Amino acid sequence: MDKKKEQVSIFKLVFTHNWEDPVSDHAALKIKPNDAIMAITSGGCNVLGFLMFDPKVIYSLDINPTQSYLLELKIAAMKTFDFNDFKTFAGLTPSTGRAEMYEKLLPLLSQEAIDYFNNQSKLIKEGFIMNGQYEGFIKIAGKLIMLLQGRKRVLGLFEDKSQKDQEAYFDKIWDTRRFHSIFKILFNKHILARRGLVADYFHFDDGSTSFSESFYKRAKNAFRNIPIKGNYFLSLYLLGKFQNDEEVPAYLKEENYQLIKSRLNRIKIYNQDAQGWIDSMPDESIDCFALSNICELMSEKETAWLFSGVLKTARKNARVIFRNLMIPREVPDELKNDIVKDTLLSKQIYASDRSFVYGKVAAYSIRK
């Protein structure tokens, strides 16, 4: 088996959706026309959404090639289909003809992507929306919440409310013992350890003593303090689907479709680790870095290597958004005078982050 086909068999599609809130990304990155952006691909939603801000180029990287294949698939479908057919292919409207639609995309896909998707008949048949490994976990968690909280209470969460009424709904109706138990069931240390998470994962920037406690705090903020209306992450978490056609990522809105479609060739896809790719780039060539939480897969030494590369390739006043899920990672001390955290903005975007899964969402700027 050659190396590329071996990659297809080893790597699995983890995300078919971005779980990084694009509102946080935009607040931190302040993308301007003609900017050059480096972003972690993940589900590809945010990369596509960045095109709304008229960047010159987006370098979309992921060490997992299947995430790159997914972005290829989304781009090929957007180039080929009108908006309604794209929604159908994605899985947002019923269809029994997605396999035939997929055949039309083959001329626009790499051979590696074709080899992968030819073995993913279920994903093609059902549409890619909410069909990655992480989304499968989310669906299980949503069903558990529906069982423990009851359908009436869950649907009541999404009814239009004032901010004051939303807070009261959480305090008096939603915040039950059963709700607390969900975090102990799904996110306790022993279950996470069985998934291969080592002891270093269980340290928290928010003062929590466990991941279940930390995740509960984030969930409470999202359910109680951030407006429910417009937060499509909550509907995906709890219902496994979008509430309506308006509460969706930018690329799934009809009013944005043609504009994004016209700029798709500005996306350059790379199957590569971030450190190596950054080292290959010219000095002072990038304006924005959307790094997600990739440093949790790195040692502190590797993290230092990454941020040294960021500093080398960043233009003056470049912007960075950086997340942690569980492992606390930070810009190395020796680089903090050059890669400077915006403490106030970081607190604001963390507090208002609609996705709420990340233990840290932070904004930085490059001073040279």
CA distances to 3, 43, 198, 236, 244 from 249, rounded to whole Å, are: 34, 11, 33, 12, 11
Run of H or E residues at 331: none
Q: Are 14 and 71 in contact (CB under 8 A)?
A: no
Cβ-proximal residues to 296 (8 Å cutoff; 6+ apart), any chain = 201, 324, 325, 326, 327, 329
Helix (H, G, I), strand (E, B) or coil at 288: strand
pLDDT at site 329: 87
Q: Are 102 and 109 in contact (CB under 8 A)?
A: no
Q: What distance in Å separates the CA atoms of residue 269 and residue 210, rounded to the nearest whole number?
A: 37
pLDDT at site 346: 97
Q: What distance in Å separates the CA atoms of residue 86 and residue 91, rounded to the nearest whole number?
A: 9
Cβ-proximal residues to 282 (8 Å cutoff; 6+ apart), any chain = 313
Tokens of 137: 């976990």
pLDDT at site 192: 54
Cβ-proximal residues to 72 (8 Å cutoff; 6+ apart), any chain = 108, 109, 110, 113, 269
Q: What distance in Å separates the CA atoms of residue 121 and residue 102, rounded to the nearest whole number?
A: 10
pTM of the entire predicted model: 0.92
Run of H or E residues at 272: none
Q: What distance in Å separates the CA atoms of residue 26 and residue 289, rounded to the nearest whole number?
A: 11
What DSSP line would sit under 21-82, residue for residue? -HHHHHHHH---TT-EEEEE-TTSHHHHHHGGG--SEEEEEESSHHHHHHHHHHHHHHHHS-
pLDDT at site 11: 81
Give the closest residue to 161 by CA, choosing from 210, 108, 59, 230: 230
Q: What distance in Å separates the CA atoms of residue 125 and residue 95, rounded to the nearest whole number?
A: 8
For each successive 10 residues of the chain (368 residues), what is the average pLDDT? 44 94 98 98 98 98 97 98 98 97 98 97 97 92 92 96 97 93 72 49 59 86 96 96 96 98 98 95 98 90 95 97 87 96 97 92 94
Q: What distance in Å separates the CA atoms of residue 338 and residue 36, rounded to the nearest whole number?
A: 20
Alpha helices, H only, the chain: 3-10, 22-29, 45-50, 65-80, 83-90, 98-103, 111-117, 121-126, 133-149, 151-157, 163-169, 177-186, 189-194, 211-224, 232-239, 254-262, 274-280, 300-313, 343-352
| CATH 3.40.50.150 domain residues, the chain | 15-69+249-366
pLDDT at site 272: 93
Q: What distance in Å separates the CA atoms of residue 334 and residue 127, rounded to the nearest whole number?
A: 46
Q: What distance in Å separates the CA atoms of residue 48 and residue 192, rounded to the nearest whole number?
A: 32
Tokens of 101: 């639609």
Helix (H, G, I), strand (E, B) or coil at 278: helix
| CATH code for residues 15-69+249-366 | 3.40.50.150
Helix (H, G, I), strand (E, B) or coil at 363: strand
pLDDT at site 214: 82
